[in-house]
Chain A
């Protein structure tokens, strides 16, 4: 077994357990991303870590209230940025695989009260998909042991990362509902890699809301 980042051989103990879990991928001690799980008080709307339990500035500005709330697993620190860059821009599909267990647990901790939940990953545009060949939101959703339904499609837009906050808030909704889909009855949790301004998630929630879904939450890897 080799480290997913630097490819040095990992000295793993061969035990009965390790034989059981075949193909377990991991990072070496040096490359292990120093992620911080969000704990303590958070913004009730967007799930950002806050000194007190009140809405953050961004969320106070927001008027529409379609999304019930967002919850995220990790602080969006440098290590987390690097890890997501490895996955999204270096196209390393398995960069997040070592976190699988933690992501699943993190989801359950936030949303175990929801019954009959359906995961909806935020889609990629076809152009981006052809470049990356996988959708990181689908990848994260697939790590959570709940039914997943890709309900949405996306028009091609410029990269969000190159836009200012103002520009992002002003953009038109790039999402639209897939045709011929039977909408699930229970609550929906949108899945994405990172919640920055929340525009993406709120756009997606809007589309689902107009389609007649009442209970919409979201879960992202980082905030």
Chain B
């Protein structure tokens, strides 16, 4: 049998070579000849495929072109999806052995690169998993296995300890062919001209494989809607897409929206404590922290709210996201308030200065207020009384958890007829209160910066107490002001900043909002 195959290959090659000699040497004609020849030599095809598996490398020139033109052999070269999705995973030994159990074709399908988990150059250490290079975040300990002094990385301890004597494994699964994904795209709502423009720009960047694109869209511009078409195209052309954001709340809000649009795509949603963290998919929604699991895994990486804490000032997070993207992949940054560091990179930028409903952003009014003697100064009390005359709910931003806790009982006793609650990062009823506020059963919600972005309430006014506090930087203030006037039915809203010192952040935030409004008017 083998002999027979061998012989037919030889005759095949000879025939091709003869043809080339005759002058039909171009790639295309060669493959076409192959097709012609294969039709008469079925056994040869299988043998070539065997070879491919063995060498773990497709002979693209023959079989791939063949596949596009010959539906007859389509199902023969299949590659297991489970393996394909392992591409780009960065794992430790335990995880590797648990993955290996998955199938008997492991050795054939998956290439594994190994490297030490912590590398050292002179005195500088680097954790190869989280890419942390801060020497104060490496601690030594006497290793009970190799009986040497080992180091472990404190930066990524949450994801399992990484020590000097460990090895990391990078899985690579080269795709045999481009796999077009059936997306079940269900997105019918029409985009505004501005959204459409940004959407087209994004789709173009993905299609042509641009490296970077910044979409600078004001709060309430409808950023998420601009993504869908581009992502759909990418998935259809066999690209793997990740949407990442620094905030867990944001990613949880995005998931149902994506599920409604991509009805036949399995979406994994990864964040600290999610059940999906060990899964892989063609469309991944995750917090930027979760990108630690990947190396050269995605073709498109969209980072939403790129200016949010802690992404912008955690160098290792930035490095991790760069690593998660393939060398040929496309970075899309989304932001309403891009930081200077990002703006300075001068990436191609797409501005969307108008909200989806076309109305300008509410411009904040700043009031000098003394907070020394009381948690609730008189002018704020009056402003709240005045605010209650309209139908909007009120979001009261405070700087610290402590302040939220002292202000709440004070407000509750002052305004006995109102339902007032407080939320902050460590409050147990956080989700419950936010839901209640959304259902308008709560009138006034006191909050720390956790509600600064990502969450949308249709009709609110926003007051910021102690807007001169350090936590309220320019980006935070712009984002907070962007909570007001989100709905089409109530596109205005008042934003008040109460301050003791007129900080640079307040000045710049107001200026930035006015600038965006001016830009929007021009269009």
Contact = CB atoms under 8 A, between A and B. Distances in A.
B142 interface: yes
Nearest to B152: A93
A202 interface: no
B48 interface: no
A92 B157 contact: yes
If over half of A's interface residues share one DSSP class (helix, strand or loop), that class is named, otherwise mixed; here it is loop
B145 A91 contact: no
A54 to B, nearest CB: 39
B373 interface: no
Nearest to A97: B139
Contacts of B161: 90-92
B139 A133 contact: no
B141 A93 contact: yes
Contact of B139 (A90, A93, A124, A135): A93
A91 B150 CA distance: 13
A134 B144 contact: yes
Interface in B155-183: 155, 157-158, 161, 163, 165
Nearest to B158: A90
Interface residues of B, number: 17
A132 interface: yes
Interface string A54-69: 0000000000000000
B137 A135 contact: no
Q: Which residue, of A1, A7, A124, A129, has the highest number of chain B Cβ atoms within 10 A?
A: A7
Contacts of B157: 90-92
B137 A133 contact: no
A4 B144 CA distance: 22
A132 B139 contact: no
B150 A133 contact: yes
A130 B137 contact: no
B136 interface: yes
Given A90-B161, A133-B150, A7 B155 contact: yes
Nearest to B426: A30
A25 B143 CA distance: 19
Interface size class of A (residues with CB under 8 A): 10 to 19
A166 B74 CA distance: 62
B408 interface: no
Contacts of A94: 139, 141
A135 B142 CA distance: 10
B144 A7 contact: no
B317 to A, nearest CB: 13
B154 interface: yes
A133 B145 contact: yes
Q: Which residue, of B144, B145, B161, B163, has the highest number of chain A Cβ atoms within 10 A?
A: B144
A2 interface: yes
Nearest to A142: B142
Interface in B116-144: 136-137, 139, 141-144
A134 B154 contact: no
Nearest to B136: A2
Interface string A66-103: 00000000000000000000000011111000000000
Contact of A133 (B136, B144, B155): B144
A160 B161 CA distance: 22
Interface string A17-39: 00000000100000000000000
A92 B139 CA distance: 9
A94 B136 CA distance: 13
Contact of B154 (A4, A132, A133, A135): A4
A150 to B, nearest CB: 11
Interface string A89-122: 0111110000000000000000000000000000
B123 to A, nearest CB: 15
A130 B145 contact: yes
Given A90-B161, A130-B145, A7 B137 contact: yes
Contacts of A132: 144
Contacts of B139: 25, 93-94
Q: Which 8 residue pairs of A and B lie closest in terms of their CB atoms, listed nearest first?
A: A93-B141, A91-B161, A129-B144, A133-B144, A94-B139, A133-B143, A134-B144, A133-B145
11 contacts: A2-B136, A2-B154, A90-B157, A92-B154, A93-B139, A93-B152, A129-B145, A130-B144, A133-B144, A134-B143, A134-B144
Interface of A: 1-2, 4, 7, 25, 90-94, 124, 129-130, 132-135
Interface of B: 136-137, 139, 141-145, 150, 152, 154-155, 157-158, 161, 163, 165
Given A7-B154, A133-B143, 18 more contacts: A1-B136, A2-B137, A7-B155, A90-B158, A92-B154, A92-B157, A92-B161, A93-B139, A94-B139, A94-B141, A133-B141, A133-B144, A133-B150, A133-B163, A133-B165, A134-B141, A134-B142, A134-B143
